[in-house]
Amino acid sequence: MDSKEIALKISNVSFSYKKGAKAINNFNLEVRKGSFTTLLGESGCGKTTILKLISGFLQPDVGLIEIDGVNQNRIEPDKRKIAFVFQNYALFPHLTVKNNILYGVKNKKNENNYKIFEDTVKSLNLDNLLTRYPHELSGGQQQRVALARSLVLNPKILLMDEPLSSLDTKLREKVRDELKEIQQKLKITTIYVTHDREEALSLSDKIAVIHDGKILQEGSPKELYFSPTNLYTADFIGHANFLKNNENTFLVRPQWFAFSDDEQQNDLCGKIEEITFLGDTTRLIIKLSGENFFSCEQNLTVDLPTIICDDLKKGNSILLKILKKWKL
């Protein structure tokens, strides 16, 4: 990547809380300007610590953090041109939407600052909510106000720490779509933290899978889903079956199976242990039986179109062919 295209570069950064084990260990990441990058991992893997290091609330023990090529290690948080959207939005209950949005703007009467405010409010469809208070807003509206408060600061980088985690499923999907649309429209460099793989896959230009303070793999959502380089990423980024043949291990996603009419060498024989209706798809749990070209330490998880599963019953024998597999 050309250095002029890099908004953020983290080089060989390590960090420990007091005398404990390293929370971040030799961490390296490059973020392209205008991109949406997600740090994906389980709770406690170091995702939020990385955001705090980027924003300056924590200082690395070793390593370098650069924004637009400038070393940030000795720059105070309020001088870094970074905005932070917190998990709980952190809106002030006694302030109107307008005053919440303008809270961090130092010179509110400055013509340029007010134009940024007006443009931000318009782009987030908050025009008719400016006189309301946080308790009068829905969860999605509160999320947009928190986002607007960050954007009016005209940051170079926007940091978001699991901002959708408190929303119910339906609202989360709606706000997620809005967030992606806003980010693409404004072209603001965004670093997003989540443990939710669906959020990561749907929002991101690039995903970095974090485990024990390290990046295990980074790439586009499709690269990580279809071509993972390790077992952890393969399993964490989506439901996974791991099939073995001799010394080789293959990833087969639940959707990468189909019924087989006549047995071929690579087909799998088994019995249905469980059937779960999931709407458009039906999930089958299959216990392999007889002689198979592949072995599997656990039962197979298979997702098939519901329309072809009506006649299936628990205990039925089944013959499956593999449509796609990826060698790990």
95-151 tens-digit pLDDT: 999 999 988 887 666 777 778 888 888 878 898 999 999 999 988 788 889 888 988
Q: Which has more confidence, 214 or 292? A: 214
Q: Which has more confidence, 289 or 225? A: 225
Q: Which has more confidence, 255 or 298? A: 255
Could you give the 3-state DSSP secondary structure of residue 11?
strand
- Give the strands of the sheet with 6-16, arranged side by side: 22-32, 6-16, 62-67, 70-71
Taking residues 209-227, report their average pLDDT.
96
Rounded Cα gap, residues 57 and 257, in angstroms: 48
Taking residues 297-309, report their average pLDDT.
94
Are 243 and 263 contacting, i.e. CB atoms less than 8 angstroms apart? no
Q: Which has more confidence, 112 or 23? A: 23
Q: How far is CA 196 from CA 142, 186, 301, in A?
A: 21, 24, 20
Per-residue model confidence (pLDDT) at position 212: 93
Phi, then psi, of 219 in degrees rounded to 5: 165, -175
Rounded Cα gap, residues 225 and 107, in angstroms: 46
Per-residue model confidence (pLDDT) at position 109: 66
Rounded Cα gap, residues 192 and 221, in angstroms: 14
Rounded Cα gap, residues 60 and 68, in angstroms: 18
Q: Per the CATH hierarchy, to which homologous superfamily does domain 3-232 belong?
A: P-loop containing nucleotide triphosphate hydrolases (3.40.50.300)
The pLDDT > 70 percentage for the chain reads 98
Q: Where are the domains of the chain?
A: 3-232, 239-327
Residue 157 CA, chain-centre distance (Å), reads 17
The pLDDT of residue 303 is above 70: yes
Q: Which has more confidence, 247 or 290? A: 247
Per-residue model confidence (pLDDT) at position 139: 80
Taking residues 233-240, report their average pLDDT.
95
If one counts every other C-beta atom within 10 angstroms of the C-beta of residue 304, the result is 19
The pLDDT of residue 263 is above 70: no
User: Which of 185-194, 254-263, 277-286 is predicted with the least confidence, judged by mean pLDDT?
Assistant: 254-263
Taking residues 91-98, report their average pLDDT.
93
The whole-chain average pLDDT of the chain stands at: 90
- Among residues 249, 247, 245, 213, which one has the least CA distance to residue 234? 249
Per-residue model confidence (pLDDT) at position 237: 95
Per-residue model confidence (pLDDT) at position 264: 67
8-state DSSP, 204: -
Specify the fold of 239-327. Answer: OB fold (Dihydrolipoamide Acetyltransferase, E2P) (2.40.50)
